[in-house]
Amino acid sequence: MSRPHTGASISLTIFGLYSNYANDASIQITFNDSSMTDLSILVPTKAYTDPTGIYDKPFIVKARPAGSALGFDFFAMKSALGTPIIVDTDGEIRWVGAGITSATSSILTDNRFIIGDQKSTKTYVLELDGTVTALAPLAAPLANFTHNIDPGKWGYLGEFDEAGNIGATVSEFTTTGKVWNLATIISSYMISKGDDAGAFVRNGSDWFHINATTYDPADNTVIVSSRENFVIKLDYETGDIIWILGDPTKYWYTFPSLRAKALVLAPGGLYPIGQHALSITSDGLLMLFNDGYQSLNQPAGEPAGASRTYSAVSAYAIDAATLTATEAWRFDYNETLLSTICSSAYEALDKSLLVDYAFVASGTLTRLVGLDEEHNVVFDFQYANSSGCNTSWNAVPIHLESMFFLQTFRGNGRGL
């Protein structure tokens, strides 16, 4: 910046402060002549009371030990009660916004949240200074956001309803506008193989229940989670089905065309059941939260599949050429926690993990668990959950400490 005139002022937004605390802040100012000035300031804050009565009252099952190794210090919980909530790994609220009624469909990207409206295709940009900007609605036939927003090849992968097609569409929005309609893709494939597609693809019902998507740069594909059925991999350009991974005791496996695309899981592995939160790990594995609860919306008399008494995080090595999969590792917390719906697991730096058990104790509680590289539990926080998956349907590690904002100020004797 240029040197301001005497009496000039500069206004900066500082976020991530502790509530009810005298926060130390360090500011480095670089001038046009390359000289620098370092400032140390004290920023006192008022006490914050969470209006939901949830996020400022965590029960600490296990506190993070001082000096413990973990690849993240902050995480964002996607709340259905308002904006996302940023919490640190000591359980302290470090940021919350306003002006958004639900952040279930959201992603933190480029130092801001992109939030989708689950009643329409409107999207909002929520800056960390609290500014909310509404963007133009996405075009028909997309009707409304349903679940997650995930990173795509060029933009963001959103899951949508369409008119007459419930929970079975992915679109990469904000850039390409590319759409994968799973009802059309699966129907066309089944018909080409002589199967009765109408018996499986039941438009007007929640036959698919899409809840997560991830882009795999290794082979230019998108991988889609159908809570009711399986995980399915599609060619990014053509939408062709490459493989299917799911519980073979479910209804989908009774169709020869779908069975022909099924991966065979190596003995000892857990098939994905009711899974959420797909991602590709740093070493190329497919990771997901393996809820372990059977299908909820199969035709009467048709198999809903298996259920387990616990949930797990599963990571798979997949050989598409041989249609085989191996569960490379899993974390199941000694088979002590069951989250039948929602939930997530995502990797941070140094292969640390954040696991969100969104719906435990019959949905009355939510557990956020941090794991180090060896999958040892570093912290475990428990929150009340009012209903559904309201408290934290999904949660991601974030890195406030590495955010970079570039802003140039020109001193002109006026407050900026």
Position 410 confidence tier, pLDDT thresholds 50, 70, 90 = low
- In the chain, CATH 2.120.10.30 covers 50-402
Q: Are 348 and 72 in contact (CB under 8 A)?
A: yes
| Nearest CA-CA partner of 285 in 315, 321, 312 | 315
Residue 312 pLDDT exceeds 60? yes
- The pLDDT value recorded for residue 406 is 66
| pLDDT for residue 300 is more than 70 | yes
Cβ-contact 231, 212 below 8 angstroms: no
CA quadruple 260, 263, 269, 272: dihedral, nearest 10: -90
What gap in Å lies between CA 257 and CA 185, rounded to an integer? 13
- What average pLDDT does the segment 158-164 reach? 92
- With cut-offs at 50, 70 and 90, classify the pLDDT of residue 306: very high
The per-residue pLDDT of the chain, averaged, comes to 94
Of 83-97, 131-145, 186-200, give the lowest mean pLDDT range: 131-145
- Give, in words, the CATH class of 50-402: mainly beta
Residue 4 pLDDT greater than 80, yes or no: no
pLDDT band at 2 (very low <50, low <70, confident <90, very high): low
Evaluated on CA atoms 108, 226, 326, 360, the torsion sign reads positive
State CA 152 to chain mean position distance: 12
pLDDT at 416: 26
Query: Per-residue pLDDT averaged across 18-35, rounded?
Result: 90
C-alpha dihedral sign at 295, 107, 371, 363: negative
Using DSSP's 3-state secondary structure scheme, residue 189 falls into: helix
Going by pLDDT thresholds of 50, 70 and 90, the confidence category of residue 405 is confident
3-state secondary structure of 248: coil
Residue 391 pairs in a beta bridge with none
Q: Are 340 and 366 in contact (CB under 8 A)?
A: no
